[in-house]
Structure 1
Amino acid sequence: MLKTFLTAIAVSLAMPVLAQPTMERVPDRPAGEGEGPFETLLIRGATMIDGTGAPPEGPVDIVVKGNAISAIIRGGGVDVAADKVIDADGMYVLPGFVDTHGHNGDPAKAPQPSYGFKLWLAHGVTSVRGVGFGWGASDPSIEQKTRSAANTITAPRLFAYQVPGTVWDQGLVDTPAKGRAWVRWAKGRGYDGIKFFNNEKPHILEAILDEADKQGMGTVAHLGQRGVADVNARKAVELGLDGVTHFYGHFESLLDGSRLPQYPADYNYLDEQARFAWVARLAEQVGEPGSDQWNDYIDYLIENDVTLSPTFNIYAASRDVMKARNLEWHDKYTLPSLNKFYEPSLTNHGSYYHDWTSEDEVAWRKFYRKWFDLTHEFKDRGGRVTAGSDPGYIYQTWGFAYIGELEMLREAGLTPLEVVRAATVDGAQEIYDSKGSIAPMGSIAVGKLADLVIVPENPLANLKVLYGTGHTRLNRERNELETVGGVRWTIKDGIIFDAPKLLEDVARMVEEQKRAQQ
């Protein structure tokens, strides 16, 4: 049993190269699933939250020609001839959300990529950076990216990142020259950027980062603990890294009194219960927020134009696993196979709460406080923070996990307008910085792509109204419970998707799998 456990975990922590080959092909978008694009689409009477941080304003009429915004009429009421009109009176319109940390299933837990794609769209996510969407020689990322760009599948706009040495047939990237060759090869294949797990030696990482910059490819890293003795976040940034996701590498850059983390004598990295229980205790080995050490580190990140995509939500179950296990959307919208994957397991990556105690949860709550403080201070000094969800692990189901991330960004101290900016214009620009251009989406402005979210309730007052299950509250006049919110329409490339209908499709997938297992 132990040998099987360690082998499975070792594979999952390196890269799940064997996890993806039999993923189902995404079906073509059927007739009637999404309307448009139209010669002229008019969105009438909405309150606009444009994504830049500007205050809401309304009523506003938005005119869309094809797949782009052609006019914004403040005050509304102008007579515009249109092929399609959306009456958004009393509603709120925002830019389409950008998820900067996406994956898309594997055959064991969510074999049809449409499951995740539809959940993303149903929650207003119109662009996703896959880090990555798949692994190995049969990685579907480029095919799915191309089909999404052509709108022949029901999916957000996809940006494909890949891990050095994967996909091609020339083996490990074990020299700087080979690293540079892989970058050029990946660029030629159509990949947008590179995701690192801290598996490269520093001189090889430096060569890959330099070549990525030359080729206009973005870079982001999960700075795993096995490589952090050589490359923590500060070192990775020094070598040229664009962005840091999760918390890995930050705390190791802030150690107080030692150069390396201090592990307990019985620590075993391949035992995920030990690995993730210990992670929270790492916060005890760093200084306090506001110290000279913290200030110097944050200043260094900002001076080097680093972007942080914290993905707070993916470890939220560590604070309260009972809550995560019983989230209200699991029964209707989480596949039984995915729920099974989430359960404590010796083989499934992220299912590490084998004997998760109140002491573990308290330690993680304390850990989050310092992680929140680091992110908040970074943001306050001008650093860019974006929103990523890392779905499909640890009770974090697609779409719902993204809104959970927005709530946690708010908990970290971002204001509601800052949360929206992180989810829209800043996420879009993080992806496009490496391309050397202004993002064509991410804000509501004339000339931008018509990627929009229309919501009946005000998300600045309550982010919970963005969940597909809506927000339940007491109607005090009738003394009755009512459910409000949920995205009403998601518009991608001028194509209007009925968000409740997408959720119905997902619910049907879940029910079909439940019946098949009876």
Structure 2
Amino acid sequence: MKVWKVALAALATMGLQPLAAQMERVPDRASDEGEGPFGKLLIRGATVIEGSGAPPAGPVDIMVEGNRIAALYPGGAPDSEAQGAQRVVDAAGMYVLPGFVDVHGHNGDEGKAAQPSYGYKLWLAHGVTTVRGVSFYFGPGTPDLSDASRSAANTITAPRLIPYIVFGDKWSGGNPDTPAKAREWVRWAKTQGYWGVKFFNSSSPEVLGAALDEAKKQQMGTVAHLAQTGVAEVNARTAVELGLGGVTHFYGHFESLLKDGLPYYPENYNYFDEQSRFAWVAQLAPQAVEPGSEKWDEYIDFLVDSGVTLSPTFNIYSASRDVMAAKTRDWHAKYTIPSLMDFYAPSATNHGSYYKDWTTEDEVAWRKFYQKWFKLTKEFHERGGRVTAGSDPGYIYQTWGFAYIGELEMLREAGLSPLAVIRAATIDGAREIYEPRGEAPPMGRIAVGQLADLVIVPENPLANFKVLYGTGHTRLNREDETIEQVGGVRWTIKDGIIYDAQQLLADVARMADEQRAAAQQ
């Protein structure tokens, strides 16, 4: 079977079939969805967590003009300025952060979530104002670019959408199986309007190297899912040496750190059997060298020196260490639509729905795997490497928006400080997207001149990331001894447009209710 056919087969097993032709069109933004932008919008009395790693400061008034931050007033805006605002948001006692950047997004497909606004609204409801789609949809004739254009014009209710394309996808020129054809495909993707390329390592090193080199020349970003099917030739070290800009997931790292030359798989291993594939992933960790060893330290230094970015997406595999917890998350009952819950259920075919015989031994192996993966990421971060936040939603009990907050919690578990997690989720995510273009990111910090992409939260997320979940956080009120639900994003501002996060969640709950009702008819 040719490499191209192998790649398509791999996509199919991952639930990435080109089904977007059957997806519903994202409706135009309704008149009651979002307010603004305004000539002048004043956000009053907030504590600002500005995104670079600087500590919180407040109260601060933030003046937004159109879609840009025009001024910051520590202690409060002068009356002469405040009186000119067409809209005032009272954020006294609340926390304002830059809009979150999800560097690893996919949209649904007809079998999971046929209406893309389901995912878009969940992202916005959790403060995510920018998403890099890798890809949003797969296959020719799909609306990646039109959705991105409509979002940029704010004619749909959606985050800012940054379209990447899977290498070889969507064009009619055949398999880009030579260096010359790989370069031709990259140039074609650039002319279509894609910002970057997502690679699966099904190409030869020569073809991959040519594509990466051409992408750099075209000022396109690059990221790779270095799957087990190609990692014997191209692991993370090899891909970075060839010029890869970002490694996502864990793929390729442990294969770069093996005690022996190749990973061991049992004689009955089958990559296309999802349970076999994911159960044996955890067995890579004990085959790799130990933290602190010469090979381990040299590899991390190599990654840091190369300037590669790691977006680990810890959350997407978290069910592997406790599947019962994952399938009973607080939000599933109200916000996860039935078709998505059906997709998550154990299945012989659906990507990531592999818990058909998931045992205690499997979960223990994955917990140990995470310990080593966390250690690698933390040391990379501590030595100056850039880590960003991506959620890879729509698989393995990870629902849009909620999955992103789960990733922030797991970055914290890996050892990043709360401020470092926020930096990964904001300015560093923006830098990963814009640096290949030779541009300073227009968002990612709360600073004068930046785009007005902001998150306003009633509770302090640095003390507890759980207050960012749409379902909030359960807490005892010690004054009256009652149990209360606190937190949740209050407002998400994208491009100077104020979205009521609670209303967005209500819209999503309605979608879920309607699908349940239709199923009962």
User: Is residue 2:42 matched to residue 1:42?
Assistant: yes
Provide the residue aligned with 1:267 in structure 2: 269
Matches within 5 A, 1:95-134: 95-134=98-137
Contact 2:7-2:200 at 8 Å conserved across structures: no
Matches within 5 A, 1:69-88: 69-79=69-79, 80=82, 81-88=84-91
User: Is residue 2:337 matched to residue 1:335?
Assistant: yes
Provide the residue aligned with 2:20 in structure 1: 20
User: Is residue 2:436 matched to residue 1:464?
Assistant: no
Partners of 1:145 and 1:7 lie apart in 2 by 26
* TM-score with structure 1 setting the length: 0.97
Contact 1:101-1:131 at 8 Å conserved across structures: yes
Which of 420, 423, 426 in structure 2 is aligned with 1:421?
A: 423
Partners of 1:14 and 1:69 lie apart in 2 by 41
Provide the residue aligned with 1:67 in structure 2: 67
Which of 386, 398, 422 in structure 2 is aligned with 1:384?
A: 386
Partners of 2:10 and 2:152 lie apart in 1 by 36
State the Cα distance separating 1:371 from its structure 2 match.
0.2
State the Cα distance separating 1:136 from its structure 2 match.
1.1
User: Is residue 2:286 matched to residue 1:301?
Assistant: no
Provide the residue aligned with 1:236 in structure 2: 239
Percentage of matched positions with identical amino acids: 70
Q: Deviations over 1:228-247 (max 9, x none)?
A: 00000000000000000000
Name the CA shift for 1:277/1:9 in 2 (closer, same or farther; >3 Å).
Answer: farther
Contact 1:391-1:401 at 8 Å conserved across structures: yes
Partners of 2:288 and 2:151 lie apart in 1 by 44
Provide the residue aligned with 1:158 in structure 2: 161
SS class of match (2:326)? helix
Partners of 2:424 and 2:433 lie apart in 1 by 12
State the Cα distance separating 1:172 from its structure 2 match.
1.2
Contact 2:25-2:116 at 8 Å conserved across structures: yes
SS class of match (2:284)? helix
Partners of 2:176 and 2:167 lie apart in 1 by 7
Partners of 1:17 and 1:230 lie apart in 2 by 26
State the Cα distance separating 1:324 from its structure 2 match.
0.3
Partners of 1:418 and 1:117 lie apart in 2 by 26
Contact 1:8-1:347 at 8 Å conserved across structures: no
Q: Tell me, which stretches of 5 or more residues in structure 1 are unaligned?
A: 1-5
Partners of 2:350 and 2:154 lie apart in 1 by 33
SS class of match (2:180)? helix
User: Is residue 2:143 matched to residue 1:140?
Assistant: yes
State the Cα distance separating 1:10 from its structure 2 match.
4.9
State the Cα distance separating 1:448 from its structure 2 match.
0.3
User: Is residue 2:179 matched to residue 1:176?
Assistant: yes
Which of 342, 347, 361 in structure 2 is aligned with 1:359?
A: 361
Provide the residue aligned with 2:3 in structure 1: none
Partners of 2:8 and 2:427 lie apart in 1 by 39
Q: Deviations over 1:297-325 (max 9, x none)?
A: 00000111000000000000000000001
Query: Which stretch shifts more, 287-296 or 393-402?
Result: 287-296
Partners of 1:351 and 1:9 lie apart in 2 by 17
* TM-score with structure 2 setting the length: 0.97
Aligned partner letter, 1:277: A
State the Cα distance separating 1:13 from its structure 2 match.
3.5
Which of 397, 400, 404 in structure 2 is aligned with 1:395?
A: 397
Which of 369, 374, 387 in structure 2 is aligned with 1:372?
A: 374
Which of 506, 510, 515 in structure 2 is aligned with 1:508?
A: 510
Contact 1:123-1:499 at 8 Å conserved across structures: yes
Matches within 5 A, 1:202-241: 202-241=205-244
Partners of 2:57 and 2:179 lie apart in 1 by 52
Partners of 2:301 and 2:425 lie apart in 1 by 23
Q: Tell me, which stretches of 5 or more residues in structure 2 are unaligned?
A: 1-5
Q: Deviations over 1:412-435 (max 9, x none)?
A: 000000000000000000000100
SS class of match (2:38)? coil
Partners of 1:130 and 1:50 lie apart in 2 by 25
Contact 1:9-1:347 at 8 Å conserved across structures: no
Aligned partner letter, 2:499: F
Which of 187, 200, 203 in structure 2 is aligned with 1:200?
A: 203
SS class of match (2:197)? strand
Name the CA shift for 1:192/1:7 in 2 (closer, same or farther; >3 Å).
Answer: closer
Contact 1:110-1:337 at 8 Å conserved across structures: yes
State the Cα distance separating 1:19 from its structure 2 match.
2.8
User: After TM superposition, which residue ranges in structure 1, 4 or more long, deviate above 3 angstroms?
Assistant: 6-11
Contact 2:140-2:169 at 8 Å conserved across structures: yes
Matches within 5 A, 1:471-482: 471-482=473-484
Partners of 1:426 and 1:66 lie apart in 2 by 25
User: Is residue 2:314 matched to residue 1:312?
Assistant: yes
Contact 2:14-2:351 at 8 Å conserved across structures: no
Provide the residue aligned with 2:486 in structure 1: 484
Partners of 1:328 and 1:8 lie apart in 2 by 36
SS class of match (2:52)? coil
Contact 1:9-1:348 at 8 Å conserved across structures: no
State the Cα distance separating 1:17 from its structure 2 match.
3.6
SS class of match (1:453)? strand
Query: Which stretch shifts more, 262-271 or 185-194?
Result: 262-271
State the Cα distance separating 1:490 from its structure 2 match.
0.2
Partners of 1:350 and 1:315 lie apart in 2 by 9
Contact 1:129-1:161 at 8 Å conserved across structures: yes
Partners of 1:153 and 1:481 lie apart in 2 by 38
Name the CA shift for 1:77/1:446 in 2 (closer, same or farther; >3 Å).
Answer: closer
Name the CA shift for 1:8/1:236 in 2 (closer, same or farther; >3 Å).
Answer: closer
SS class of match (2:20)? coil
SS class of match (1:497)? strand
Provide the residue aligned with 1:94 in structure 2: 97
Partners of 1:390 and 1:171 lie apart in 2 by 28
Provide the residue aligned with 1:56 in structure 2: 56
Name the CA shift for 1:228/1:7 in 2 (closer, same or farther; >3 Å).
Answer: closer
Provide the residue aligned with 2:285 in structure 1: 283
Aligned partner letter, 1:41: L
Matches within 5 A, 1:404-419: 404-419=406-421
Partners of 2:16 and 2:424 lie apart in 1 by 29
